[in-house]
Amino acid sequence: MLEPGSVVHDRYRIVGAIGQGGQVAVYEAEDVRLQGRRCAIKEIRFDPEADEETRRQAEEQFRREADILARLDHPTLPKVSDYFSRGDHDYLVMDFVPGLNLKEVMDEARRGGRLLPESQVLAWGAQICDALYYLHTQDPPILHRDIKPANIKLTPDGRIKLVDFGLVKLMAHDEARTITVIQGRGTAAYAPLEQYGGDTGHTDVRSDIYSLGATLYHLLTNQQPPDAKQRFLRPDSLSPPRVLNPAISPRAEKAILSAIAMHPGERPASILEFRDALMQDTLEAQNVQATLARRDARANAVRRALRAHRAAVLGILIMIALALLVTLTAEPVRVEPNATMPAPTPVSTVTSIAP
């Protein structure tokens, strides 16, 4: 572990550890070149006993993926700004995100004897969907593969940040190759069955949809879903969300259960399809609100135009009033009831008779 106060890469002063586990540790640090900038440094430890060729390939993979992550620019993703290696450790530097992660938020609610409200959880879910849509539409597409409450930060101003890229995978167009920083399967409760094969398993955007569905299940019920292997062996081990929390809407329950279907073919085909299913009522309400807002905007525009051209409008109204007055007071044309039309003048006809 890096000691608080130590400086790495001649630039980053370690403040303290944020978390650690397995081959990864994350630290909060200060950038000594840019005063006041805080950053998070992810330390990735590889097996020091690996042969030279394995180590070379791992370092090449790390650098290529760090280059990809550094090009990402989305408000729901922390910006990756630097990477470097030191001994048997590789380091990824990104924006420090203040606030609690959603697991901590959920645990705090549980200690208070309450569940998180659906409207709040779905609002967070919509932001995560936006982030995943951005990742999935990169060239090549990027899979996160480790979505879970502990990897999602809630900032003090209420925004969501998807903070961990430890198992990110780049999908080649021909599906023949991938680039992965760390070999791993994700966290069991949130990983689909196809991800248990590591990089030998076929994962695609539907794998992230499964992880997000499992995350929302946990946030809404305060109970982890059983992992995919357990569900495969015992299909009845998964309790429907509304059994655990009757306040969940049928629509949200249906969307979440479709997202965590065991077979990828039974899940939504894209993150947008899942978002629309999850947020259907909200989207319809937003459409109604947008329609009303446009109507109000048009009415306000008319009112502003009337105020701006008050003299001209008043003049037009006066002219219309005068025209009506003239029409109403004009002498009507009288027609005598016994008047007859003059008789037509007779026309003489001359007939010519041949001698």
The angle formed by the CA atoms of residues 305, 307 and 310, to the nearest 5 degrees, is 105
CATH number for the domain whose boundaries are 97-294: 1.10.510.10
Domain 10-96 is found in CATH 3.40.1440.10:
no
- The predicted model gives 118-127 an average pLDDT of 96
**In which band, very low, low, confident or very high, does the pLDDT at 38 lie, cut at 50, 70 and 90?**
very high
- Judged by average pLDDT, the poorest of 78-87, 193-202, 278-287 is 278-287
pLDDT of 284: 47
Decide: 138 and 214 in contact? Cβ < 8 Å.
no
Spans of all domains in the chain: 10-96, 97-294
Catalytic residue among 130, 146, 164, 227: 146
**In which band, very low, low, confident or very high, does the pLDDT at 13 lie, cut at 50, 70 and 90?**
very high
Q: What is the pTM of this model?
A: 0.72
Percent of the chain clearing pLDDT 90 (strictly above): 49
Residue 322 parent element (H or E): helix 310-329
User: What sign for the dihedral angle of Cα 1, 188, 203, 275?
Assistant: negative
Strands 160-162 and 89-95: unpaired
- 248-306: pLDDT as tens digits: 999 999 999 999 999 999 999 999 999 999 997 555 444 445 555 667 677 777 777 77
pLDDT of 287: 45
Residue of higher predicted confidence among 184 and 47: 47
118/218 Cα distance (integer angstroms): 12
Residues in the chain: 355
Decide: 114 and 70 in contact? Cβ < 8 Å.
no
Tell me whether residue 146 is one of the annotated catalytic residues.
yes
- Judged by average pLDDT, the poorest of 75-79, 127-131, 321-325 is 321-325
pLDDT of 200: 54
- The predicted model gives 30-56 an average pLDDT of 86
pLDDT of 345: 56
- Given a cut of 60, whether residue 152 has pLDDT beyond it is yes
- Given a cut of 90, whether residue 115 has pLDDT beyond it is yes
- Given a cut of 60, whether residue 318 has pLDDT beyond it is yes
Amino acid type, 311: A
224/21 Cα distance (integer angstroms): 20
- Mean pLDDT over the full length of the chain: 82
Residue of higher predicted confidence among 202 and 141: 141
* Residue keyed to tokens 């479709």: 258
pLDDT of 98: 92
Q: Which two tokens stand for residue 256?
A: 């979440």
User: Distances in Å between the alpha carbon of 58 and those of 45, 134, 145, 176, 196?
Assistant: 11, 26, 19, 18, 21
